[in-house]
A = this chain, B = another copy of it.
Amino acid sequence: SASPSSLKIFLTSHHILNPTVLLALILLGLLTAVVSFFMDLAIQELQYLRLFFIQTSSEILNMGIWIIFCIVLCELAVFITSYLSKDAEGSGIPEMKAILSGVKLRNFMSYKTFFAKIIGVVFAIGGGLSIGREGPFVHISGIIATHISKIPIFSHIHSNLTLKNQFLAAAVAAGIASVFECPIGGVLYSIEVTSTYYIVSNMWRAAFCSIWCAIGIIWLREIGQMKVINSTDFPDVGLDLEIFSFIILGCLCGLLGALFINITSRLISLKEQNIYPMLYGRYRYTLLICIICAVVTFLTNYMRLNDMAVINDMFHSTFSEHGWDDYNLPFALLVFGICKFLLTSLSLSCHIPAGVLYPLLAAGAVFGRLFQQLASLVFTSDRHGVYAAVGAASLVSATTHTISVAVIVFEFTGQIHYFLPMIVSVLIAYTVSSSLTLSIYDAFLEIKG
C-alpha cells in the first residue's frame, strides 16, 4: 500500500542529487560565508576605530568624540538604507517568511537592497546601536540565493517554484549558520521562523548548504584570526533539585520576552502613529536613540563590549577580563541587563536593518548570570555558566517563539550534556511568552500589515 509514497521519496531523494543543485548549494554556502566574514571584519574595524578615537586625556572630549562618531555612523546607516532601498529596513526574517509562504515582494531581492542592508547594518552596529546582524544576514543570504538561481546554468532552480523556495530556505539556514557557526541550529531555527509546514526531505538541502557555509566561515575566521566563540567547560549536569531553579528562570525569561515584544511593538506603533512629528523624523528619531545609546555605552566599560564578548564572559565560570569584577557584580549585571534590554528595544524601532538574536542572547546570558547570584543562596553548585547559557536561550526562545535556539546555544558552547535544564527552561519560556503575545517576527509583520 505504501509503495507509491516510497517511490516518490526515492525519486525526490534522487532529485536532490542533481549535480547543478549541489553546486548551487555549495556556491550559496561559500558566498554566504565570505560575505558574512567581511561584514564581521568591517564591524570589528569600526569598533576598534571608535575605541582608537577616544584616547585623548580629557574624558569629556572623549565622550564628545564617542557620541559624534556614533551619530555620524548611525545617520549614515539611515541615509544609505533609505537612499538605496527602504526594503532593507528591519530584520528581514518576517519578510523571508512571507516570501516563503508565497507573498511576492517587489525589490526585496534587488542588488540595491543587498548593499543597503550590508552597509546599513555594519554602520549601525559600528555606531553603537544595540542590534544583531543575524536577521539582516538571513535577508542578505536570501538575496545571494536569488541571484545565484538567476545564473543561466542554475535556471532550472529559478523556473521551478518548489525548488526555488527550497533553495531560499537553505539560504535562510546558511545565513543563521554563518553568524553563529551553527549548521544544525541554523537549519532548525530557519525551519521554525519561516515555515508553517515543512517538507522534510528539504532538511537535507538546508543542512548541506549550512555545512559548506560553516566550513567557509570557520576557515575564514581562522585565517583572519577572528576567534568568535569559546567552547565552555560546564560541569556535569544531572537531574536534581536545582531543576526548580531553572523552571523559575524559564518563567522569568518568558515574562521578560513577552515584555520585550510588547515594549518594542509599542515603540514602533507610536512612531507609526506619528503623534510627536518633531520627534519622529527618520533622522531625528535615530539621532535621539543614537545619543542615548552612545551616552550609556560610554559611561560603563562593560556596555562597550560587543555582544559576543559579553556572551563569552557570561558563559565562563570566572570573569577573566573586561572588568566585570571591578564593580559590585550583581549591580553591574543588573545595570547591563536593564540597559541592554531597553537599548535593544529602542534600537529596533529605528529605520535601519536590525536583528534581535545577538543582543537578546547577551541580555539573556547576563540575566541568567544575575539569576544565578540569587539561586546560589539556595543551590551552591558551580554552574555559573550553565545559568547564563540557559538564560540566553530562554530569553531568545520567549522573544522569537522558537525552541531550536537551544541547539544554537549548544553549538555555541560545544556542550550538550546540560540539555535537561536547557530544554525545560526554554520550553517554559516559550509557553509563557506564546500564551501572552505573538512572536516578535509576527508582531513586526502585523504592524507592517
Q: Does A401 contact B (CB under 8 A)?
A: yes
Bound-complex Cα distance A103 to B1 (A):
8
**In the complex, which of the residues A197, A415, A417 has the most CB atoms of chain B within 10 Å of its own CB atom?**
A417
Interface check A379, CB cutoff 8 A: no
Contact with B along A156-190 (1 / 0, CB 8 A): 00000000000000000000000000011000100
C-alpha gap A269/B413 in the complex (Å): 47
A274 vs chain B, min Cβ distance (A) = 21
Q: CA separation between A406 and B94, bound complex, in Å?
A: 30
A203 to B184, CA, bound (A): 16
Question: A35 in the interface, Cβ–Cβ < 8 Å?
Answer: no
A281 interface hit (Cβ, 8 Å): no
A199 touches B196 (CB 8 A): yes
Report if A224 contacts B (CB, 8 A).
no
Binary flags per residue of A279-313, CB closer than 8 Å to B gives 1, else 0: 00000000000000000000000000000000000
A48 at the interface (CB under 8 A from B): no
Stretch at the interface among A61-69, A114-122, A256-264, A422-430: A422-430
Interface of A with B (CB < 8 Å)?
1-3, 5-6, 9-10, 13-14, 16-17, 94, 97-98, 101, 103, 183-184, 188, 191-192, 195-201, 203-204, 207-208, 211, 214-215, 218-219, 222, 231, 236, 238-239, 243, 401, 403, 406-407, 410-411, 413-417, 419-420, 423-424, 427, 430-431, 434-435, 438-439, 442, 445-446, 448-449
Give the residue of B13, B197, B207, B208 whose beta carbon is less than 8 angstroms from that of A401.
B13
Q: How many copies does the complex hold?
A: 2
Instruction: Tell me which of A2, A97, A192, A208 has the highest count of chain B C-beta atoms within 10 A of its own C-beta.
Output: A2
Whole-angstrom distance between the alpha carbons of A195 and B195 in the complex? 15
Bound Cα distance A97, B200 (Å):
13
Give the distance in Å from the alpha carbon of A94 to the alpha carbon of B1 in the complex: 12
A147–chain B nearest beta-carbon distance, Å? 25
Question: Closest chain B residue to A418 by CB distance?
Answer: B414
Most buried by B among A184, A198, A238, A414: A184
The answer to whether A191 touches B196 (Cβ under 8 A) is no
CB-based contact A419/B184 at 8 Å? yes
The smallest beta-carbon distance between A87 and chain B, in angstroms, is: 15
- The answer, among B2, B3, B16, B423, for a CB contact under 8 Å with A184, is B423
Whose C-beta in chain B lies nearest to the C-beta of A192? Answer: B200
- Most B Cβ at <10 Å: residue of A17, A423, A435, A438: A423
Nearest B residue to A404, CB-CB = B203
Find out whether the CB atom of B197 lies under 8 angstroms from the CB atom of A446.
no
By Cβ-Cβ distance, the 5 closest A-B pairs, closest first, are A414-B417, A6-B442, A2-B445, A13-B434, A198-B198
| Known contacts A197-B200, A201-B196, A427-B208, A184 near B218 by CB under 8 Å | no
Nearest-CB residue, chain B, relative to A207: B403
